[in-house]
Structure 1
Amino acid sequence: MMSKNGHQNPAFVNDCIDKAPQKLSLELTEKGGKAVVTKDPEYNPYAHREVEHPTTNSETLFHLLKGSLGTGILAMPNAFKNAGYITGSIGTIVIGYICTYCIHQLVKAELELCKRKKVPSMNYPAVAEHALSEGPTFFKSMSPYIGHIVNTFLLIYQLGTCCVYVVFVASNIKSIADYYLETPIDVRLCMLIILIPLILINWVRNLKYLAPFSTLANFITIISFGIICYYIFREPVTTEGKDPFGTAYGFPLFFGTVLFALEAIGVILPLENEMKTPKKFGGSCGVLNVAMILIVFLYVGMGLFGYLNYGSNVEGSITLNLPAKDILAQCVKGLLAFAIYITHGLACYVAIDITWNDYVARKLGPQRKKVFWEYAVRTLLVLVTFLLAVAIPNLELFISLFGALCLSALGLAFPALIQICTHWYYTEGLSKIWLLLSNFVLIIVGVLGLVIGTYTSLSEIIATFTNHEAH
C-alpha cells in the first residue's frame, strides 16, 4: 500500500508480516547457531505488487533524471572551483560510481528481504529495520529505532532541499531586480515577498494537482539549460588561470555538493516499486545505470566547462554569473526561479508525508480538527525552511551542508550497513570477508564525508554569518 507520493506505509509491511507467522515459522533454519528465516524460492515479490498506475521503463528513467537535474547541477561549477577541474572531473565520476553501486545494493537488499518476509515491497525505513533485525546481535537491538533514524535523515534532507529552493529563487530575483533598481535589494526581502504564495502552494494536499507544475518546470528547465550552455560556449573555454587541483579544505565542500546533486536516494525504492517491469531497474543496461551515466555525464560537463569559463568568480549557482544586462540572461534567471518556485510543493511533499502521516496524524487520532492540524504542519515546515534560508542565505554552503550531512548517511553508510546485516548469516568464508571489507570501506567513506563535510560546511556558514553580522 502506497501513500500518494509512493511513500510506502511501514505499518502495512509489518501487518503483512504479522499475518503470516505460520509460513515464516516453517522456514526457520540454523546458521551459525542462530535461527534465521530462509526465503521461499517460489515467492516472487514482483508478482505480488499491486500498482494502480505502473510506470514504464522510460517513465522511470525520466523520473530519475527529473529527480537529479535541479539546483544541484547549477552548483557544479562552484563545486569544481573547490576541487579543481581535474580532481572535480575524476571525483564526480568516482562519486557517481559509488552512489550507483550503493543504490544497487539497497535495491537488492529490498528484494532479498521481501522474499524472506513474503511482502511485495518495502520502503527505505522498512528495509533498514528488517535488515538490522536479521543482522548481528548488536544491530538487532537497534532495529526498532533505525526506521526513525532513516526518516529523520530523509526529513532533514528534504527540508534542506526546500531551503536551497528558497535561497535559489530569492537570489535570482535579487539578481534581476538589482539591475533595474538604483539601490540593491536585500535577498531576505525577496524571500519575504515569496513566502505567502509558498505557503499556499504547500497547502495543496493532492499530488496530482502538483503534477502539471512539474511538467511545466521540466520544460522550462530544459530550455534554460540550453541557454546556459550558449553562454558557456559562446567564447572559447581555457584552462589558463584555472586550478587543476583544489585544496584539501575545499574537497569536503566539493564532496557534499556532488552528493547533493547526484543522489536521489529518497525516490529510488518508490520508483522501483511502482515499475511495470521492476526487473529492468537494475542490471548492467538497466534503468538505473542508464540514468546515472547520463546524470554523471551532464554534471561533469556543466561543472567542468562552467568552471573553465568563469574560474574563481563562479557563483553558488551558475545563473548568477550570466550577464546582468542581457535580457536573455535575465529571462533564464527568471524562468529557472519560477520553475524551482512552482516545484517547491513537490520537494516539500515527502517531508510533509513523513511528518504528518508517520508521526503527527498517528498521535492525534480521529478528530474533527485533523484537517486544521495538517495545514498547520504544512505551514510550519515551510516556515522552518524559510527561517533557515533567511538566517544563512548562502546557496553553495547550504547545498554542501545537506549533501554531506544527509546523503553521506542515506546514500553510502546506510546501504552498506543494510547489506552487511541482510547477508550476515547467509555468507561465509571469502564471501563474508568481501562482504565486510567492501561495505566497511563504504561506511568509513560515508562517516568521514558526514563528519568532515558537515564540519567544513558549518565552519564556512558560521564564518559567513559572522562576517555578515560584522557588516
Structure 2
Amino acid sequence: MNVEKQAQDEKYNPYEHRKVEKPNSDIRSTANIIKASLGSGLLAGPLAFAQAGWGIGIIGTVIIGIICGHCIHILVKTSRGCCVVEKKPSLGYAETCKYAFKNGPKCVQKFANAASVFAEFSLLSTYVGVCCIYTVLIADSVKQLVDRYYSSTILPVEYYCLIFLIPLCILCQIKYLKWLAIFSLMANVLLVATYVICLYYIFGDTITFDDKKAVGNPARYPAFISTVIFAMEGIGVVMPVENVMKKPKHFLGFPSVLVVAMSAIVFLYGTLGLFGYFRYGDVLRGSITLNLPIDDWPAVCAKIFIALSIFLTYPPPVLRGYRHLY
C-alpha cells in the first residue's frame, strides 16, 4: 500500500493535532540542522580534498550534499505520510520506519517491528560513537594548548576526558531543542569564526597550484566519501527538529529550512576543503587547525573556538537517543 497515495486520500492533518511545549522558529531549526550536520568534520575537508583531488572534491561534495538533502526530504515526506495514515500528530525516526513497513507491500509488513528496533539500534550505535569522538576532540584541543603554554602540567588525554565529563553531563540535562538552539547558534558562530581564521591563514601566504591534483588516486575515494558524509550527515536530528517546529511546513519546499541549511553546509565545506588543500597540499593533518601555527593568537583562538563549538554541540546527539523527544 502506497503511503503517499493514502496520505493524499486522508483528510487528517497532523499539524492541527501536534502540540509542542517549546516550539522552534525557522531560524533556530536551521541553526540546529547546520550544527548537527556540520561540526568538527568541516575542518577535515582539506584532507578529504587532498585524498580525492580538487576537481573530484568539488563535484563529489556537491553530489553528496544533494544526496544527503534528498534523503532527508524523503524521510520527512514519508514521516508526514505515515502520520496521516496512522492519524498521529508526529512520528520519530524509528516510528517512521515501523509504519512505513507496516503500510508497505505485504511482503515487508511482517518486518515492521524489526525495522523499528533496527533503526533504534543503529541510531544508538552511531551516536554513542559520535559522543565518544566529540569528547576526545575536545580533550585533544585543550591538551594541545595546555601542553604548549603550561608545560609544567602534562596530563594524559584521558584525564582531560574525565575533567570535561561533569560539565558535559550538566549540559546534557537540557531536554528542549528550543533551548539547545541557543547553544547551537553560539556553536555555529564559533565554527564560522574558526572557518574565517582558517581562511585568513590560507590566503595569508602564496598559494601554488602546480603540485595540486584535480583527480586523485581512486583508491582514496572511499576515504573522501566517508569524510564528507561524516561532515554533512545529521539524519538523526531531522525528525526531532521537524517535530518541534512552530511551522513544520517550512521544513520542506523552496526556500525552506532544509534547502538553506544544506546550501550553507555544502558551501562552507566545499570552500574550506578546496582552499585548504590549495594552501597546504598533501601535508594536511586530520584537522586543518592542527596545521595552524601554535604561537599566533588567531590560531590559538581557532583552537579554542573549535573546542567550545564541539562542547556546545554535544547535547543534540545525546537527545537523539530519547524516543520521547522524537
Q: Does TM, normalized by the shorter one, top 0.5?
A: yes
State how far apart, in whole Å, the 2-side matches of 1:215 and 1:135 are.
Answer: 39
**Aligned-pair CA distance for 1:192:** 1.9
Pair 1:315-2:285 in alignment: yes
**Paired position in structure 2 for 1:90:** 59
After superposition, where does 1:25-424 map in structure 2 within 5 Å?
40-180=9-149, 189-203=156-170, 204-207=172-175, 213-351=183-321, 353=322
**Cα distance per residue 1:172-202 (max 9 Å; x no partner):** 234334544779968xx12322314314521
**Aligned-pair CA distance for 1:312:** 0.7
Structure 2: stretches of 5+ with no match in the other structure: none
Look up the equivalent residue of 1:264 and give its one-letter code. Answer: G
State how far apart, in whole Å, the 1-side matches of 2:141 and 2:18 are.
Answer: 44
Secondary structure, aligned partner of 1:54: coil
State how far apart, in whole Å, the 1-side matches of 2:212 and 2:96 are.
Answer: 45
Q: Is the 8 A contact 1:172 1:320 kept in 2?
A: no
* TM-score, with length taken from structure 2: 0.88
Look up the equivalent residue of 1:124 and give its one-letter code. Answer: Y
State how far apart, in whole Å, the 1-side matches of 2:6 and 2:249 are.
Answer: 24
**Aligned-pair CA distance for 1:57:** 2.2
**Aligned-pair CA distance for 1:225:** 2.3
State how far apart, in whole Å, the 2-side matches of 1:180 and 1:37 are.
Answer: 64
Q: Is the 8 A contact 1:45 1:120 kept in 2?
A: yes
Q: Is the 8 A contact 2:28 2:182 kept in 1?
A: no
Structure with the greater relative contact order (CA < 8 A, sep ≥ 6): 1 or 2? Answer: 2
Percent of aligned pairs with the same amino acid = 39
Q: Is the 8 A contact 1:96 1:262 kept in 2?
A: yes
Moved more, 138-147 or 294-303: 138-147
Q: CA RMSD in A?
A: 2.7
**Aligned-pair CA distance for 1:335:** 2.9
Look up the equivalent residue of 1:243 and give its one-letter code. Answer: K
**Cα distance per residue 1:440-469 (max 9 Å; x no partner):** xxxxxxxxxxxxxxxxxxxxxxxxxxxxxx
Q: 1:198 to 1:347 in 2, by over 3 A?
A: farther
Q: Which runs of 4+ in 1 moved over 4 A?
A: 36-40, 180-186, 208-216
Look up the equivalent residue of 2:164 and give its one-letter code. Answer: P
State how far apart, in whole Å, the 2-side matches of 1:216 and 1:289 are.
Answer: 21
Q: Is the 8 A contact 1:242 1:311 kept in 2?
A: yes
**Aligned-pair CA distance for 1:252:** 1.0
* TM-score, with length taken from structure 1: 0.62
**Cα distance per residue 1:201-233 (max 9 Å; x no partner):** 215533368666545434433322222221112
Question: Larger C-alpha radius of gyration, 1 or 2?
Answer: 1
State how far apart, in whole Å, the 1-side matches of 2:180 and 2:237 are.
Answer: 17
